């Protein structure tokens, strides 16, 4: 009846109000049957068919995730332009600090062996992970944590399945080829409502400066995304994953048409490294940069505001060794134009350490080419590279100036500093606390995050690890059992 009334008003708007009700009904009914029948070739069916096909083909590869005993959360750490950014990363309800958390979110299968991609904030610190398929079987599996990356908020899980068992999975597409205005589909479990689908368009690309993650290059979409969608896929009309839904901008806690997804090209890079190594290595240039406005363009003798202006060069970095200087404007990396510092930073971080890049720069109005061999992000103690050790429940970071000041450490100190310890984990039970300086792992000296990760590379559940730790003037060995 409601549908019929809607059609009446629609027709009434076009044909005028001076018709009798009987005439309106008759006219509308004829138009409805003739133009909007439900046969296969109707306009309605033709428009809907791509979405129907995607729902049928892709939903079975999307999973519902339940993470128990995750990292406690309090209120969101900030207000977003004075609005409530509900559950900054949504995947579970708001709870008071220091209470055990049950987080719920979404994920999607990326291999037939049962690897699942999701947001790190959905599963971070969880002791028990359960995934439920959203196909005709509704099977539930225990999952294990393979690895995660706090800089991009990406994590990989693995279903504990029977040998030889295969799963349907989704392919990752090319997010760089996305166009603003292109149709996309979000699949997930908003508010624990499993296998929910919403549609929308790409609203914008390359969103940065949102303070959601350390490394930002978000896709913005108006496809309805709500708490619980986090970690689910954003899919194009070719049935390829072009993004992973991560956060929303909201005043009410619900969808307001502004959602953010991690581009698939970042997912691809992270997926390959985590599955192979369990952690991420990234290229490192070693410069601080700022965008160029019209006044700066004039001052630095360039006729464009595109590029990345170097404001500082890290001592001993690949940039310094390659000859880059303060005041240089990076215009190209290899043959790609550099539009802004964010784009350059993204391209550098997606390259492997040891990669040789050709940089085209503007130095005082003179165009030059400089070759630089990238270092490893995280090996320079001046650069933050916080990483989470799921096996022990602690987060460690390099000895940055900020960390040294906060934890009263010295310039001559060597090691990595503990910046967070999760409740109920081996690290907490073993007496590890924030501010502890980890100097060696199993008698192997560590001076940065990469060396710490490498020392734990072959550690499996049940193994014991010996840590040499300094707290203030005291040094002590701690032994922890990996979970």
Question: What does the pLDDT look like over 169-180, one tens digit per residue?
Answer: 999 999 999 999
Confidence grade of residue 320 (pLDDT, cut at 50, 70, 90): very high
Q: Which residues contact 415 (CB under 8 A, 6 or more apart)?
A: 399, 437, 438, 439, 440, 446, 447, 470
- pLDDT at site 15: 32
Equal CATH topology for 48-278 and 387-481 = no
Per-residue H/E/C for the chain: CHHHHHHHHHHHHHHCCCCCHHHHHHHHHHHHHHHCCCCCCCHHHHHHHHHHHHHHHHHHHEEEEEEEEECCCCCCCCCECCECCCCCCCCCCCCCCCCCEEEEEEEEECCCCCEEEEEHHHHCCCCEEEEEECCCCCCEEEEEEEEEECCCCEEEEEECCCCCCCCCCCCECCHHHCCCCCEEEEEECHHHCCCEEEEEEEEEEEECCCCCCCCCCEEEECCCCCCCCCCCEEECCCCCEEEEEEEECCCCCCCCCCEEEEEHHHHHHHHHHHHHHCCCCCEECCEEEECCCHHHHHHCCCCCCCCEEEEEECCCCHHHHHCCCCCCEEEEECCEECCCHHHHHHHHHCCCCCCEEEEEEEECCEEEEEEEECEECCCCCCCCCCEEECCCCEEEECCCHHHHHHCCCCCCCCCEEEEEECCCCHHHHCCCCCCCEEEEECCEECCCHHHHHHHCCCCCCCCEEEEEEEECCEEEEEEEECC
Does the active-site annotation cover 230?
Answer: yes
| Domain segments of the chain as ranges | 2-36, 48-278, 283-376, 387-481
> How crowded is residue 176: how many other Cβ atoms within 10 Å of its Cβ?
10
Does the active-site annotation cover 88?
Answer: no
Confidence grade of residue 249 (pLDDT, cut at 50, 70, 90): confident
The fold of 48-278 is Thrombin, subunit H (2.40.10)
Q: What CATH number labels 283-376?
A: 2.30.42.10
pLDDT at 255 over 80: no
Mean pLDDT (whole number) for 14-18: 37
pLDDT at 6 over 50: no
Mean pLDDT (whole number) for 192-217: 83
- The owner of tokens 């410069």 is 287
pLDDT at 37 over 60: no
Does the active-site annotation cover 121?
Answer: yes
Quote the mean pLDDT of the chain.
Answer: 80
pLDDT at 82 over 50: no
Task: Point out the least confidently predicted range of 101-110, 229-238, 345-354.
Answer: 345-354
Asked whether the beta carbons of 300 and 329 are under 8 A apart, the reply is: yes
- pLDDT at site 8: 20
- Determine which one of 103, 106, 121, 264 is catalytic: 121
- pLDDT at site 73: 40
- Determine which one of 189, 198, 230, 264 is catalytic: 230
Confidence grade of residue 91 (pLDDT, cut at 50, 70, 90): very low
pLDDT at 36 over 90: no
Is domain 387-481 classified as CATH 2.30.42.10?
A: yes
pLDDT at 81 over 50: no
Mean pLDDT (whole number) for 434-463: 88
Quote the CA–CA distance of 482 and 471 in Å, as a whole number: 22
Whether this prediction's pTM lies above 0.85 is answered by no
- Determine which one of 153, 217, 222, 236 is catalytic: 153
Confidence grade of residue 253 (pLDDT, cut at 50, 70, 90): low
pLDDT at 251 over 80: no
Q: Tens of pLDDT along 97-152? A: 445 578 889 999 999 999 999 999 899 878 899 999 988 888 899 999 888 887 78
Quote the CA–CA distance of 347 and 357 in Å, as a whole number: 11
Task: Point out the least confidently predicted range of 25-34, 245-254, 446-455.
Answer: 25-34
């Amino acid at each position: 009846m409601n549908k019929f009334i809607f059609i009446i008003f629609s027709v009434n708007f076009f044909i005028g109000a001076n018709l009798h009700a009987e005439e309106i009904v008759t006219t509308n009914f004829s138009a409805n049957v003739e133009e909007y029948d439900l046969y296969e070739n109707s306009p309605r069916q033709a428009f809907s068919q791509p979405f129907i096909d995607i729902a049928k083909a892709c939903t079975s590869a999307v999973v519902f995730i339940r993470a128990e005993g995750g990292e406690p959360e309090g209120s969101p750490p900030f207000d977003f332009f004075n609005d409530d950014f509900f559950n900054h990363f949504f995947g579970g309800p708001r709870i008071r600090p220091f209470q055990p958390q049950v987080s719920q979110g979404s994920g999607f299968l990326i291999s037939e062996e049962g690897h699942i991609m999701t947001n790190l904030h959905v599963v971070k610190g969880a002791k028990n992970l359960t995934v439920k398929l959203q196909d005709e079987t509704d099977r539930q599996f225990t999952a294990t944590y393979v690895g995660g990356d706090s800089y991009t908020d990406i994590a990989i899980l693995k279903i504990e399945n029977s040998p030889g068992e295969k799963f349907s999975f989704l392919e990752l597409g090319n997010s760089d080829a996305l166009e603003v205005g292109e149709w996309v589909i979000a699949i997930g479990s908003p508010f624990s409502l499993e296998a929910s689908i919403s549609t929308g368009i790409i609203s914008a690309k390359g969103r940065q400066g949102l303070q959601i993650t350390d490394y930002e290059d978000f896709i913005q979409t108006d496809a309805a995304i709500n708490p619980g969608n986090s970690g689910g896929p954003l899919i194009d009309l070719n049935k390829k994953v072009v993004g992973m839904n991560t956060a929303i901008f909201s005043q009410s806690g619900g969808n307001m048409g502004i959602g953010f997804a991690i581009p698939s090209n970042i997912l691809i890079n992270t997926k390959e490294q985590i599955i192979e190594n369990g952690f991420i290595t990234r290229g490192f240039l070693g410069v601080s940069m700022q965008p160029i406005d019209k006044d700066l363009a004039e001052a630095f003798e360039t006729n464009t505001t595109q590029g990345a202006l170097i404001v500082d060069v890290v001592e001993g970095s690949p940039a310094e060794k390659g000859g880059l200087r303060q005041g240089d404007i990076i215009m190209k990396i290899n043959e790609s134009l550099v539009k802004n510092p964010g784009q350059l930073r993204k391209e550098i971080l997606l390259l492997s350490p040891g990669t040789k890049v050709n940089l085209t720069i503007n130095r005082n109005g003179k165009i030059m080419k400089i070759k630089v061999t990238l270092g490893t992000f995280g090996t320079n103690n001046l650069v933050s590279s916080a990483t989470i050790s799921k096996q022990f429940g602690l987060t460690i970071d390099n000895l940055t100036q900020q960390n040294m000041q906060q934890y009263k450490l010295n310039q001559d100190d060597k090691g990595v500093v503990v910046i967070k310890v999760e409740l109920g984990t081996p690290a907490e039970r073993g007496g590890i606390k924030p501010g502890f300086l980890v100097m060696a792992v199993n008698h192997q000296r560590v001076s940065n995050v990469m060396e710490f990760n490498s020392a734990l590379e072959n550690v499996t559940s049940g193994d014991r690890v010996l840590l040499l730790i300094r707290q203030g003037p005291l040094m002590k060995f701690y032994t922890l059992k990996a979970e």
